[in-house]
Amino acid sequence: MAWTFSGNRPIFQQLKEIIILKIINSEYKTGDKLPPVRDIALEAGVNPNTVQRAMAEIEGEGIIYTKRGDGRYVSEDEDLISAVKSDCVNQMANDFVQSLKSLGLDSSQIKTTLEEILKTE
Amino acid sequence: MAWTFSGNRPIFQQLKEIIILKIINSEYKTGDKLPPVRDIALEAGVNPNTVQRAMAEIEGEGIIYTKRGDGRYVSEDEDLISAVKSDCVNQMANDFVQSLKSLGLDSSQIKTTLEEILKTE
Amino acid sequence: MAWTFSGNRPIFQQLKEIIILKIINSEYKTGDKLPPVRDIALEAGVNPNTVQRAMAEIEGEGIIYTKRGDGRYVSEDEDLISAVKSDCVNQMANDFVQSLKSLGLDSSQIKTTLEEILKTE
Amino acid sequence: MAWTFSGNRPIFQQLKEIIILKIINSEYKTGDKLPPVRDIALEAGVNPNTVQRAMAEIEGEGIIYTKRGDGRYVSEDEDLISAVKSDCVNQMANDFVQSLKSLGLDSSQIKTTLEEILKTE
DNA sequence: GTGGTCTAGACCACA
DNA sequence: GTGGTCTAGACCACA
């Protein structure tokens, strides 16, 4: 996954999402040590403060933790991580359905729309 | 549709979305005169300038136009409006699929997820 | 010449320009009686007040005049009308040259640009 | 280039034009950081909001972009910038030719008119 | 009455 | 320090 940012959304948020994604997808595995803030900052081409902020917020969600004087680690709690993933999936699906309903589509139209998209991929 | 705003996104953008939605859903019909900026501002509880900005941006997309000294009207171009709607739907569906794929789900998992959600509604 | 308006500029100004154009091009000839304000308003699909304002401003420039209780007439002063025309042409040409110079083009580039355009017409 | 405004056209539009001109003429070069909104506002003697609006619209055309929390920069895409310039030149030339033709001048008269003007400069 | 522009001033997120 | 948003309020052109 590349460190690219969309410009119209806060970089720290996009960073958060990318890092969480790397954890969910086991690019950073359970119990792994994460790269130092400075390395990520360099690689992503952003200010270390921005990485710091993203990390702090992810830590707030419990899926990474800090060993003082050592570094940050991915939580060993695999259930937590898979819970984060399924929460994420469910919220996206709910938002998607909600949005299309507000545009006036019913369930079967929503299903058809999705199938159309999946076919073209 | 209520004039409620989420707080973490600009009001003028949310206004834009709500108004476009009203047009797509024919609450404001083709050729209709829209309520005056000041009326919407009052109803939505925001400053007229904020409504003005939303309107100007929607006008930039061509689905409404201004008659000077008179007011704003929904475009008579029904094709344009239905194009806006289907663009909207397609983009949402694409984003949804893209996001779930980046979380590691394949097509059949995405389909299953959506069906689960639709069942619970 | 059709009575069509661009929307982002005042209608009365566009009306002025169209009417003056009709005079310069002898669609309305020296000494002719102009159509009544109400007829023009109907034909152009605008408010009679707007036509009235355009007429008043043209009258201010001397190329039309009012006979009370009768109507408006194109001035008999042919020199005045051709002066208006050449003023118009000169001002346009000056503005054009000025604008292109401010974009950094020199005289010969301006000439070339114009010749390119004339070729493609 | 002075920050002077004509009074009968919106200031934000004139600002837009002046800033774009400065980019086209490489007063603000590819990749350069632009002066802060507040500085330009002070220099031009207008409200920062007005500059903000001009900037936002220029950004919409893609030739400048914002680094959040940092400032605005001229696009690195030199092709885009030269395209903007030539579009600008062509549109001016087309408008000019169109206007003179509607006044009844033919191609050779238009050419002569321009040459007269260029001689007197 | 309608939209369009502008100012002054405030407050916020971001880096 | 930088841009982004928003409000309050004013004034104007237009129809």
Measured CA B6 to C1' F6 distance, in angstroms: 15
Are residues D24 and C115, on separate chains, in Cβ contact within 8 Å? no
Helix D78-102 and helix D11-24, axial crossing angle in degrees, nearest 10: 120
pLDDT for the residue numbered C109: 94
Cβ separation of B66 and C7 shorter than 8 Å? yes
Q: What pLDDT sits at residue B44? A: 95
Mean pLDDT value across residues B48-58: 97
Within 8 A by CB and 6+ apart from B34, the residues are B19, B28, B40, B55, B64, B71, B72, B73, B74
Chain D residues whose beta carbon lies within 8 Å of the beta carbon of residue C100: 89, 92-93
CB atoms < 10 A from the CB of A55, how many?
Answer: 20
Beta bridge partners of D33: D73
**What mean pLDDT do residues B33-52 have?**
96
**B-C contacts at Cβ under 8 angstroms:** 5
CB atoms < 10 A from the CB of D31, how many?
Answer: 11
C1 pLDDT exceeds 70?
no
What's the pLDDT score for residue D1? 64
Candidates D90, D110, D118; nearest CB to C118: D110
What does DSSP assign to residue A36?
P
Q: C39-96: per-residue pLDDT in tens?
A: 888 888 888 888 999 999 899 888 999 988 888 999 999 899 888 888 889 988 999 9
Q: What is the pLDDT of residues D39-97, one digit of tens each?
A: 999 999 999 999 999 999 999 999 999 998 899 999 999 999 999 999 999 999 998 99
Provide the pLDDT for residue D45. 95
pLDDT value, residue A1: 58
Residue nearest to nucleotide F12 (CA to C1'): D8
Q: Are the Cβ atoms of B92 and A92 closer than 8 angstroms?
A: no
Rounded to whole angstroms, the distance from the CA of residue D26 to the C1' of nucleotide E2 is 42
Note the pLDDT of residue B74: 97
Whether C10 sits inside 8 A of B66 (CB atoms) is no
Distances (CA, A) of B31 to A65, B34, B54, B67, B93: 58, 9, 19, 12, 29
**Distance set, CA C10 to CA C5, C13, C15, C26 (Å):** 9, 5, 9, 25
Interface of chain B against chain C, CB under 8 Å? Answer: 65-66, 68
Whether residue A10 and residue D65 make contact (CB cut-off 8 A), yes or no, is no
CA of D59 and C1' of F1: distance in angstroms?
21
CA-to-C1' span, A41 to E11 (A) = 29
Name the percent of chain A lying above pLDDT 90.
Answer: 33
Q: pLDDT band at residue D99, thresholds of 50, 70 and 90?
A: confident
Closest partner residue to A11 (CB to CB) among D65, D66, D68 is D68
The confidence score (pLDDT) of residue C13 equals 87
For D4-14, the pLDDT digits (tens) are 998 889 999 99
Residue B1: pLDDT band by 50, 70, 90 thresholds? low
Q: Is the pTM of this model over 0.85?
A: no
Q: Is pLDDT at B20 greater than 80 in this prediction?
A: yes
Write out chain D residues lying below 8 Å of C25, CB-based. 103-104
Average pLDDT, chain B: 93
Extract the tokens encoding C25: 């091009």
Q: Return the pLDDT at B73.
A: 97
Backbone angles phi, psi at B60, to 5 degrees: -60, -25
Segment A66-77 mean pLDDT: 90
